Structure 1
Amino acid sequence: MNIEFKKNKLSIALSIALLTNLSLMAEEKSPKELDSVTVIGNENSDYKSKEKVKLNRTKMDIEDTAKSIQSFNENFIEDSQLQNIENIITMSSNTVYNGDNHGRTNDISMRGFSGVPILIDGLKVTNKMAHPEVYNFESIEIQKGPDSLQYGESSPGGIVNLVKKKPTKETLGKIELEVSDNSSYTPKLDVAGSLNKEESLYFRLVSVLKYDEGWTNSNTETNKVFIAPSLSYDVNDNHTLTFMAEYTDETTPSSFGTYVNSKGNLVAPIKNTISNPDEEFEKTQKIIGFDLDSTFDTWNSNFRYRYIDYEGDNGNVHMPQSYNEATNIVSRAFASQKQEFEEHALQYTLNKEIDILEFKNKISLGADYNKAYSKLDMFYDPSTPYLINLSHPSYEHLTSASEHSGVMDMSSDKTYVESWGTFLQDSIYLTNNLIFNAGVRYSESKPKNGQRSDALTPSFGLVYHFSDQTSIYTNYSESFTPNSQEDTSGNILDPEEGKGYEIGIKQKLFDDNLNLTAAIFKIEKENIAELDPDDPTLSKYKASGKQESRGFELDINGNITPNWSIVASYGYTDTKNKDNNNLDLKNIPEHTANIFTSYYLTSFGLPNTYIGGGAKYLGSRYADENNKIKFDSEIIYNATVGYKKGRWRANLSVQNLTDEEYVDGALSSNARGTRVYVGTPRTLLATISYSF
């Protein structure tokens, strides 16, 4: 009996035990205990978020903020049944997913620029697991445009914030089972409530077990154990201390994507892995931390700390090196890679409301510190190629380092990057309807043995409320990203800089139940590192690159009627690489559009039954900087039907209804071939849950 089989048996046993024991617990409760339950869910769904966005450290309302911001709440996440955070994030306009860099990161582009940072509970974390557990989030927030004011290093495209489920005083309990036609099953648990009579001590526990055979021809199944406990204590009326922890242990197949030809067409069935079907990618992530929230009449503060320990072990792989289009042959080489990350992240924010010269001011002062360690163990042997025909693959046995006499040790010692920053922002209420936002940030970043880089980034915005339903805004903001390349003098290049201009409107519709945001924008990115043609070694860089994007976008979410909910967006982005004949930036479509809507069949006498569906339009885009290889546009459809009554909920959905084969984005495109990541084929999902 091998280890993997034991893991599968353990996962099955734990899943059955979890569902059986929790069901018995629910049945054994007396009527008196059941009467104490106060939260069991709404009959209908509401996609309009009622909470203030957590990514705004100033705690200001969206309507008073001179930025385009969208928030996808738990109702939408639950109804749409989207399986990964990138599927939710890309519901926002002008936002695309480019791939996961071999299963290591979620690469998101916004408004034409990649490298969008993904925050966790409003905290910048450098190294974290790709594809985090969606069930652990109560909302996912998007802010568009360059903005390094509150969080430092950032993409000029925008920022994403993942908001985790928090302890609650109200008693809630939910068990859920999700199965799919990929021979997968996923039991889930979410419980919370008060632990004492005074309700000053309360908790939450979220847990997920997952087993998935997957849709590729890999011999490795996905097995995941996830658990996230948290505990809050009201020290007094003004202070709340929350402790949280999280543990993830996951094994998945390797993720090297596939190839397209010079016309941008896939060259083999997407189920065929281009490395070796016996490879495993083992990931373990541990997080602990705390939040201290203080609230008074005219001021509030928040102090956060997180410690993250993440290890990704790709073990032995036959890594793709090049693709020959004429023969459809991929050449691969042995490699073994293990990455270890350790990180400390701290953040403090103070918000104070004060009158200055008879004008109301909301002043925010913040500081943050991050120290991220990394270590790489890697062995590589390019001297022994392994060839495979992608159309008719015949895989060799997976080798180890001991079988390669010419293996090279490419490991690196433990190192770190230390960064810190501080910002000051003031929102001045010039009148009851006119708000001026202004702020500035200073940031520093320094590798262990490298050169320090710093940046001063301002931000300005103006919001005018025509009415309680309508407001317009405009802003100018900047972002920065440190460079790591050296020039011919051995100096680290200046940080990349982003500058953005934006004007937009925010509108409430249908009795304030539907939010609409529309904006036009222009973004410039400078100091992009490019190889210096005057350097004879062709290894030195100069900061001369310049890129630009401009466009229009529209986002709506909320309810049209009490029974009809919708999330939709449209985006147009025109990008230019100013140093490459104004060609388009790679992986960026001009047009994107998304919609998901659900409708309760109350008018048909079925008030507990809903139907829903959606579509994602991904316009044509280029795989390479020279715009020689182009991907066709695609439309991906989803459909769902569900039932919700009292404590029970059931949902049946189909993702990628027409089973489209499409490309998410290109990882690389050069003389060695164009390697890409593809979307998930048609998947049938069934979910049943019970609240107690």
Structure 2
Amino acid sequence: MGFYFSKKNLSIYLSSLLLASTSLFADTKKEEIKKLDTVTVVGSEASNYVSFDKPSINRTNIDLEDSAKSIQVFNEDFLEDYQPQSLEDIIKMSSNTTYEGNSHGRSIQIGMRGFSNVPILIDSMKITNSTINQEIYNLQSLEVLKGPSSLQYGQSSPGGIVNLVKKKPQKQDHAEVQFKVDEHTAYTTNADFGGGINSDASLRYRVVTSIKHGEDYTNSNTDINRFFIAPTLAYDLNDNHTFSIMAEYLREKTPSSFGTFINSKGDLIAPVENLSSHPDEEFKKTQKIVGFDLNSNFDTWNSNFKYRYIDYVGTNGDVHMPQSYDETTNRVKRVYAYQKQEFSEHALQYTLNKELNIFNVKNNISLGADYNKAYSQTFMHYDPANPYFIDLSHPDYEDLTSLSDHPGARDMTGDKTYTKSWGIFLQDSIHLTENLIFNAGLRYSESKPKDGQKSDATTPSLGLVYKLTDNTSIYTNYSESFTPSTNMDEKDNILDPEEGKGYELGIKQKFLDDKLNLTAAIFKIEKENVPLVQGLAPNTYYKASGKQQSQGIEFDLAGQITPNLAIVASYGYTKTKDLDNDNNRLKNIPTHTANIFTTYHLSSFNLPNTYIGGGARFLGSRYTTNSNDLKLDSEIIYNATVGYKKGNWKASLTAQNLTDEEYVEGAISSPRVYAGTPRTIMATISYKF
């Protein structure tokens, strides 16, 4: 499938999208009205996957339809029905978005619109050292913003950013207890309770907790043990100011996560249950977060001041870490290592939003500043001289060794270091007419590692929104992103930051009385200053001259089609080019992705409290290397669910990867890959007080 980014084709695509979407749902709406005249709906209404809240990911006070960006919001109804096992299960539902791995269990690697290293924000705050340990049950929603987006947050991927919106205290008293069990005999107990403390609920609280224990799907001898608790307290100082304090504590023990291997045909060399390291290994993690928010709200302006302190310790301890695979002997080479990581970070953020008229023109001005100081240290011992070998398809594991068994192990422990970064931005959303909105913004960012060289960037963002009708908006934007480099040139100077430049044209369409939203977009992104290695080892250096490109089209749909039928669906087409590598496709990026998840309440079948649902995810073919010498086949992964809701009770039975497909999500360094999760059947029951 070819795609050409020209003015002629843009107009053709845009017109086709608008006409097709309008005609597609015109008959549906007529049928819905006709049915509602004759059918009486009994019981609770189906879930609605449309979010009516203003997205927090863009740090402005403007509505979703007034933003010249593609933004998807996965709300609490969707999270409750979809029953994701992991954070990436949610993120992958967005178009042109893929999961590439978990960096040995340390952080989630996401690709979006052709580019990797998508940052994950916590409550709209940038975190320098991203971690994998985010509790899904503590999420109010998850937001995805597409394209180069360094305006509000600084360092970013050209593909976009993800924001995790945590649960906040509510004035209404509430409580929920939830119990889950899956076929791998893992048990999870969740609880969420809170409400007002004093008579007017000006002082309120919320506590979210989760406890998990049991086995995972691998042949590890290590059980999963996870404890999470997040208390939050909010106090209305007066009618205009609210002060909140929050905390999170996580303690977790899991098996190691070093991936598996594929052969020269792209096939997995062993069942996904077989560990490539050692069954006795333990990965222990402890994460603590504390912070506060000060929110101020007035008639024409509001502000937010946030602080977070994060402390993380991850100890993989003694491991037999996989290194390589020899296809001729069908053996995996592994070596002893001891690994421990420590992260800590102070993060500050201030945002001011002000609405005012200038020469009788409405302006929504946003001013923001942020500061991060992130410390990190890695402890590691490594012994490549005494390898261990196994046939991963029929593993016979040796005894797990410790550091005392390896007196010749290299001490690769690094010094404790830190990186300081700060930035400031100004954005204005100008209502030129009642239907025409112009968005313009500019940011200055600066980053400096300990004893290192400063890296800075100025990134603009421009956008235009035109409201054809109350339900239809056309938008276009130009935006930039940057990523500081750590590579040196021939004179030992830090290279200029990698820069992303994006162009986008899209439609935002509401259907069925605002119950169903469609966003469709055409985009082109260019990434420059990609480091290219120069010279011959050991005298190599880098030159910032590489260029990469992606362009494509995408659709994202969410909401209710009828009062009983809810849906989330997406399709994405991305064509990538590595312009300095024979125009090869970028690794881990499929040309096509598609997702659908839908639930249907059986009210019309006299089963008003019962619903069924299901979906599928299509993951297109992709390469495991930038040289494009190994290609993975496309896959379709199916999900299914059946549930019952009555009063305060809810129960569901969910099957993910229903047909138990064995497939690869992403490559670490080919032929080492991360395999997809096998079939998991999970039963959930909950009660709300």
**Which TM-score band (shorter chain)?**
over 0.9
Q: Which residue of 2 aligns with 1:580?
A: 581
Q: Give CA-to-partner distance per residue, 1:228-264, whole Å, 9 cap, x none.
A: 0000000000000011000000000000000001111
The equivalences for 1:604-643 within 5 A come to: 604-643=605-644
Cα distance in structure 1, aligned partners of 2:562 and 2:396: 56
Cα distance in structure 2, aligned partners of 1:683 and 1:321: 29
Q: Which amino acid aligns with 1:399?
A: T
Q: 1:402 aligns with which of 401, 404, 411?
A: 404
Q: Which residue of 2 aligns with 1:506?
A: 508
Query: Are 2:680 and 1:683 equivalent residues in the alignment?
Result: yes
The equivalences for 1:97-246 within 5 A come to: 97-246=99-248
Q: Which residue of 1 aligns with 2:22?
A: none
SS state at 1:412 partner? coil
Cα distance in structure 2, aligned partners of 1:130 and 1:191: 25
Cα distance in structure 1, aligned partners of 2:302 and 2:493: 43
The equivalences for 1:410-421 within 5 A come to: 410-421=412-423
Query: How far does residue 128 in structure 1 lie from its aligned partner after superposition?
Result: 3.8
Cα distance in structure 1, aligned partners of 2:652 and 2:105: 29
Q: Which residue of 1 aligns with 2:7?
A: none
The equivalences for 1:414-493 within 5 A come to: 414-493=416-495
TM-score normalised by structure 2 residue count: 0.93
Cα distance in structure 2, aligned partners of 1:603 and 1:130: 42
Cα distance in structure 1, aligned partners of 2:303 and 2:580: 45
The equivalences for 1:287-686 within 5 A come to: 287-533=289-535, 537-669=538-670, 674-686=671-683
Equivalent residues of 1:129, 1:285 under 8 A apart: no
Q: Which amino acid aligns with 2:145?
A: Q
Q: Which amino acid aligns with 2:267?
A: N
Query: How far does residue 42 in structure 1 lie from its aligned partner after superposition?
Result: 6.2
Q: Which amino acid aligns with 2:579?
A: K
Cα distance in structure 1, aligned partners of 2:260 and 2:552: 31
Query: How far does residue 536 in structure 1 lie from its aligned partner after superposition?
Result: 5.8
Q: Which residue of 2 aligns with 1:18?
A: none
Q: Which residue of 2 aligns with 1:20?
A: none
Cα distance in structure 2, aligned partners of 1:50 and 1:424: 26
Q: Which amino acid aligns with 2:688?
A: S
Q: Which amino acid aligns with 1:123?
A: M
Q: Which amino acid aligns with 2:564?
A: N
Equivalent residues of 1:505, 1:517 under 8 A apart: yes
Q: Which amino acid aligns with 2:452?
A: G
SS state at 2:415 partner? strand
Q: Give CA-to-partner distance per residue, 1:217-236, whole Å, 9 cap, x none.
A: 11111110000000000000
TM-score normalised by structure 1 residue count: 0.93
Any gaps of 5 or more consecutive residues in structure 1? 1-40
Cα distance in structure 2, aligned partners of 1:576 and 1:549: 6
Q: Which amino acid aligns with 1:680?
A: T
Equivalent residues of 2:46, 2:566 under 8 A apart: no
Query: How far does residue 43 in structure 1 lie from its aligned partner after superposition?
Result: 5.0
Query: Are 2:51 and 1:49 equivalent residues in the alignment?
Result: yes
Cα distance in structure 1, aligned partners of 2:614 and 2:360: 52
Query: How far does residue 44 in structure 1 lie from its aligned partner after superposition?
Result: 2.7
Paired residues, number? 647
Query: How far does residue 537 in structure 1 lie from its aligned partner after superposition?
Result: 2.9
Cα distance in structure 2, aligned partners of 1:157 and 1:47: 24
Equivalent residues of 1:110, 1:157 under 8 A apart: yes
Q: Give CA-to-partner distance per residue, 1:292-333, whole Å, 9 cap, x none.
A: 000111110000000000010000000111110111101111
Q: Give CA-to-partner distance per residue, 1:151-207, whole Å, 9 cap, x none.
A: 000000001000000000011100000000001110100001000002100011000
Equivalent residues of 2:61, 2:364 under 8 A apart: no
Q: Which amino acid aligns with 1:547?
A: Q
Q: Which amino acid aligns with 2:686?
A: S
Cα distance in structure 1, aligned partners of 2:473 and 2:223: 51
Q: Which amino acid aligns with 1:623?
A: T
Query: How far does residue 212 in structure 1 lie from its aligned partner after superposition?
Result: 2.6
Q: Which residue of 1 aligns with 2:287?
A: 285
Query: How far does residue 131 in structure 1 lie from its aligned partner after superposition?
Result: 4.5
Equivalent residues of 1:127, 1:310 under 8 A apart: no
Cα distance in structure 1, aligned partners of 2:348 and 2:131: 19
Query: How far does residue 269 in structure 1 lie from its aligned partner after superposition?
Result: 1.0
Equivalent residues of 1:43, 1:645 under 8 A apart: no
Equivalent residues of 1:269, 1:391 under 8 A apart: yes
Query: How far does residue 645 in structure 1 lie from its aligned partner after superposition?
Result: 0.8
Q: Which amino acid aligns with 2:169?
A: P
Q: Which residue of 2 aligns with 1:34?
A: none
Query: How far does residue 132 in structure 1 lie from its aligned partner after superposition?
Result: 1.6
Query: How far does residue 539 in structure 1 lie from its aligned partner after superposition?
Result: 3.0
Runs of 4+ in 1 over 2 A off after TM superposition: 41-44, 535-539
Equivalent residues of 2:648, 2:688 under 8 A apart: yes
Query: How far does residue 213 in structure 1 lie from its aligned partner after superposition?
Result: 0.5
Q: Give CA-to-partner distance per residue, 1:45-104, whole Å, 9 cap, x none.
A: 111112111112112111000000000001101101111110100100000000101000
Cα distance in structure 2, aligned partners of 1:131 and 1:678: 20
Cα distance in structure 2, aligned partners of 1:43 and 1:242: 33
Equivalent residues of 2:44, 2:608 under 8 A apart: no
